[in-house]
Structures are given as C-alpha cells and as structure tokens.
C-alpha cells in the first residue's frame, strides 16, 4: 500500500515542478514583441526621389539584422524626421519586408515614404517602437507570423 501512495506523491511533485518551471504560456502579442526586439535596424542613407510629375518620395536605406533565432516576414518601424530647431516634420510607421532575412544575418533594405521631401537640415531616426499595446501589436502586418492567421 505504501508504493502507490509514494508513486502518487512523486507524480504530483514532478507535475507541480514542471508547471512552475514552464510558467505561463507566451501570448502571440508577447511573442511578437520579443521577436521584434531581436532585430537591429538603423538608417545608413536617405534621399528624396521625384517622379515625372515632381511628386517626392523619401527613400531611407536601412541596415537590418535579426539577432534572434526565429524569422519574421516583416518588421514595422517608426521613421521620424526632425527639421531645424528639432521640430518633427514626419512621424510614420513603415513596414520593412523581411521575407528572406535569415536569423543571424543582416542586409541592407530600403523603405519609401511617398509624398515627403527631405530638407537640408533634416535628421532621420528609425526605431522599433517599445511598449506597444496588445491592440497595436495585433494591427501590425507581422502579427500574422505569430498568430497563425
């Protein structure tokens, strides 16, 4: 009679330890946030392109590297342009396609923002936005990579 009781106690103990060790399951939003922060991204060049009608398009060349072990097909970043006196002239999310970017590898990638022209004193920054709400994360194109949709 002692053996079944001892076996039951051991099974319960192992199950409890495994539950505590595993912790709560990661939500798709938490996973996406973690995968986004595994990327490094910074601008290496900018210019303004003009079409035949004279409409400007801001072209930003970026270096992108996935320092993690899991790929994303896209990465949405925030592009900011500050003009003279630090006045923000542009704050816009842009999605960088990463379909063939393997983990541990970097590459140069450009993004384009139609309808915007650089001025001489403009400063550009590109960042992965921190602390996005779950609703904002679900609205990003790369959310489909972690949600199974």
Q: Using one digit for the tens of pLDDT, what is the confidence trace for 68-97?
A: 999 999 999 999 999 988 999 999 999 999
Task: Please count the structural domains in the chain.
Answer: 1
With a cut of 90, say whether residue 105 has pLDDT above it.
Answer: no
- 28-64: per-residue pLDDT in tens? 999 999 999 999 999 999 999 999 999 999 999 999 9
How many Cα atoms sit within 13 Å of 64 on the Cβ side?
Answer: 28
Backbone φ and ψ for 31, nearest 5 degrees, come out as -65, -45
How many angstroms separate the most distant Cα atoms in the chain? 90
Reduced to 3 DSSP states, what percent helix, strand and coil does the chain have, rounded to the nearest 5? 30, 40, 30
Q: Give pLDDT, residue 22.
A: 61
Task: Tell me which residue range forms the domain holding 30.
Answer: 2-147
Q: Give pLDDT, residue 99.
A: 86
With a cut of 80, say whether residue 149 has pLDDT above it.
Answer: no
- How would residue 24 be classed by pLDDT, with cut points 50, 70 and 90? confident
């Amino acid at each position: 009679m002692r053996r079944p009781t001892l076996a039951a106690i051991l099974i319960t103990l192992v199950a409890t330890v495994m539950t505590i060790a595993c912790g709560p399951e990661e939500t798709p939003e938490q996973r996406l946030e973690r995968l986004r922060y595994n990327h490094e991204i910074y601008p290496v060049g900018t210019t303004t392109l003009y079409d035949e009608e004279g409409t400007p398009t801001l072209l930003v060349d970026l270096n992108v590297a996935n320092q993690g072990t899991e790929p994303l097909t896209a990465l949405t970043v925030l592009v900011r342009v500050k003009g003279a006196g630090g006045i923000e002239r542009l704050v816009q999310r842009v999605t960088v396609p990463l379909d063939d970017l393997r983990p541990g590898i970097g590459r140069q990638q450009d993004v384009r923002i139609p309808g915007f022209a650089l001025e001489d004193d403009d400063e550009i920054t590109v960042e992965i936005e921190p602390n996005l709400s779950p609703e904002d994360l679900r609205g990003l194109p790369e959310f489909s990579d972690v949600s199974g949709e």
